[in-house]
Chain A
Amino acid sequence: NAGVTQTPKFRILKIGQSMTLQCTQDMNHNYMYWYRQDPGMGLKLIYYSVGAGITDKGEVPNGYNVSRSTTEDFPLRLELAAPSQTSVYFCASRTSGRAAHYYNEQFFGPGTRLTVL
């Protein structure tokens, strides 16, 4: 299994440009997540999905969009890039917990480092 893969690894955008960050997992996980991590900071949830066709906003969704047409893929779309979106973006996935109180671990991709100039 490749696990969670993300492309591209690095990207520089100009203000106002758009791009899609790709995320694919081959573990048949139903939950998928997008986080951003600013330097020296924790992980902020942008969007998440509990299964194909279902997405929901996280803490910082403004300026982003997602779709989940398949179990494997969860792309993140940036429209009209702004310098405030300069960050490292991580995609993660997990299975459902085996019990109500048990929350399975999240598997993270290697990240995409995005700079908006």
Chain B
Amino acid sequence: GQQVMQIPQYQHVQEGEDFTTYCNSSTTLSNIQWYKQRPGGHPVFLIQLVKSGEVKKQKRLTFQFGEAKKNSSLHITATQTTDVGTYFCAGPRNTGKLIFGQGTTLQVKP
């Protein structure tokens, strides 16, 4: 069945360093969503990418959707302690479901 894989599973960075997480789907996606979950919290929607090759920015966060619409990335420039959490990508199935990746947990050392 359709799978969405994320790497790395964990990342520890020093505050101020950059961070990137990658998301790969076994099938072409109509769109991809990104969510952030703070420790002890619930997932919160960040963004949706729809077009092939699309790039969107939210302050220090840059999201990219691959040309083949099978992969995506999230890049954070100059991480801060407020960036700590787990970042999930998710792709839709036709039946209205979302398939979530395993997530990348980011730790930031001050």
- Identify the A interface with B (CB < 8 A): 31, 33, 35, 40-43, 45, 48, 50, 56, 58, 90, 92, 100-103, 105-111
Pair B33/A105 contact, Cβ less than 8 Å: yes
Task: Choose from B9, B30, B41, B43 the contact partner of A43 (Cβ within 8 Å).
Answer: B43
| CB contact under 8 A between A111 and B102, given known A45-B97, A101-B30 | no
Pair A106/B88 contact, Cβ less than 8 Å: no
Interface residues on B, range: 20 to 34
Q: Return B101 CB to nearest CB of chain A, in Å.
A: 6
Complex Cα–Cα for A100 and B31 (A) = 10
Q: Return B76 CB to nearest CB of chain A, in Å.
A: 20
In the complex, what residue of chain B is closest to A100 when comparing beta carbons?
B30
Pair B31/A42 contact, Cβ less than 8 Å: no
Complex Cα–Cα for A17 and B59 (A) = 48
| CB contact under 8 A between A106 and B98, given known A42-B103, A90-B42, A101-B31 | yes
Pair B44/A108 contact, Cβ less than 8 Å: yes
Q: Return A33 CB to nearest CB of chain B, in Å.
A: 8
Provide the residues of chain A in CB contact with B92, threshold 8 Å.
103
Pair B102/A42 contact, Cβ less than 8 Å: yes
Provide the residues of chain B in CB contact with A45, threshold 8 Å.
97-98
Task: Choose from B35, B43, B98, B100 the contact partner of A103 (Cβ within 8 Å).
Answer: B98
Pair A105/B48 contact, Cβ less than 8 Å: yes
Pick the 6 closest A-B CB pairs, nearest first.
Answer: A105-B45, A108-B42, A42-B102, A103-B92, A43-B100, A101-B30
Pair A103/B102 contact, Cβ less than 8 Å: no
Complex Cα–Cα for A117 and B43 (A) = 27
In the complex, what residue of chain B is closest to A48 when comparing beta carbons?
B97
Pair B48/A102 contact, Cβ less than 8 Å: yes
Q: Is B96 interfacial (CB 8 A cutoff)?
A: yes
Q: Is B50 interfacial (CB 8 A cutoff)?
A: yes
